[in-house]
Amino acid sequence: MKTTISVIKADIGSVSGHCFSHPALMEKCDEVLEKALDESIINDYYISRCGDDVDLIMTHTKGELNEEVHKVAYDAFLQASEIAREMKLYGAGQDLLNDTFSGNIKGMGPGIAEMEFEERPSDPVIVYCCDKTEPGAFNLPLFKMFADPFNTAGLVIDPKLHDGFKFEVYDVIENKKVVLSCPEEMYDLLALIGSTGRYIIKRIFNKKGEIAASVTTESLTLKNGKYVGKDDPAVIVRAQSGFPAAGECVEPFAFPHMVTGWMRGSHNGPLMPVSEEYANPVRFDGPPRVIGLAFQIADAQLVGPLDIFDDPAFDETRKMSSKAATYIRRHGPFEPHRLPVEEMEYTSLPGVMKKLEPRFEDIDD
């Protein structure tokens, strides 16, 4: 029997803007998932949050895109959204595009990352959850984990990793995908995933075809055709015994790289690794945050988690992130802090441009 991990997340309401999901929403989700556990729809679960996003981490044996499992998540978000509306929380039900479930949650607003696999004798898994950024924020960390020997020593010295990995990359603008193999196609991969707003790593496999990582890539902003919030991604990563060591999966976040999102989804800023307790992006709605939860998978049960960024070893990273945030904030509405105009097509900027359009005149040389 194979085990499936499903991470389904949504922004369904926040206290005072976009920074904190109220505990009452998580309690309602817990109530719904506990019932699903009693009914043997899922085997285990853990509920977390990063900023204003609630993250449902579930294990089961029903495979990916399972209707029962997805309905549990959608019902949890729907019922929690009602509480958010009663409390007049900001953005109540924001990530639910409609209130009618249609078989699975894909395309309905919430983000989904899933993977199905045969459990190893010991199966460590890390779930990373972000707020105030987009799925492309994981491109750099995942590349470093699975393709960069300066980060992952196992690519050089561990025979189980030495053959490299395959990267499934989505073009979220053209709705296409391509699979590239590393190390042999590394430069081709980098040519794509450096454009983090368009080319996004969706899945990673080893050369035997075993799943190594899975990312939420649902693009809520593109579906709605206007800015309603960034996609706030999550990723599941398998570690050890044929995959990068847990420490190699954590190390990329020691560098707070620049990601897109932050205030109004229209700014670049450093990704700050924090514990669950400090996942409250309040400075200019940021800077963007990432939490990491490490589990062991045992007979479709979750053992843990370890809150991996609750560690003084990341204090310097957080200081670096704060300094970088201060530096780039000083640019105000200028690039490179604010996104270039072509990347703001799905924000509120087009409304401003439409108002000014009649006033533009041809330039006479």
Of the chain, the percentage scoring pLDDT greater than 70 comes to 93
Which pLDDT value is given to residue 345? 56
Which pLDDT value is given to residue 205? 98
Convert the pLDDT of each residue in 158-196 to its tens digit: 999 999 999 999 998 888 999 999 999 999 999 999 999
Find the radius of gyration of the CA atoms of the chain: 20
Which pLDDT value is given to residue 228? 46
Does residue 280 sit in helix, strand or coil?
A: coil
Convert the pLDDT of each residue in 54-81 to its tens digit: 999 999 999 999 999 999 999 999 999 9
Of the chain, the percentage scoring pLDDT greater than 90 comes to 79
Q: So which residues are the catalytic ones? A: 11, 227, 230
Which pLDDT value is given to residue 348? 62
Convert the pLDDT of each residue in 244-267 to its tens digit: 999 999 999 999 999 999 998 899
Convert the pLDDT of each residue in 312-354 to its tens digit: 999 999 999 999 999 999 999 999 999 988 777 556 677 777 8
Cα–Cα nearest to 73, from 2, 12, 135: 12
C-alpha to C-alpha distance for 37 and 74, rounded to whole angstroms: 15
Residue 99 — very low, low, confident or very high, per pLDDT cuts 50/70/90?
low
Specify the residue for token string 């800015």. 227
Question: DSSP per residue over 17-72, as a string?
Answer: TTS---HHHHHHHHHHHHHHHHTTS-SEEEEEEETTEEEEEEEESS-TT-HHHHHH
Convert the pLDDT of each residue in 202-249 to its tens digit: 999 999 999 999 999 865 445 554 444 457 999 999 999 999 999 999
pTM score, whole prediction: 0.93
Bridge partners (DSSP) listed for residue 124: 296
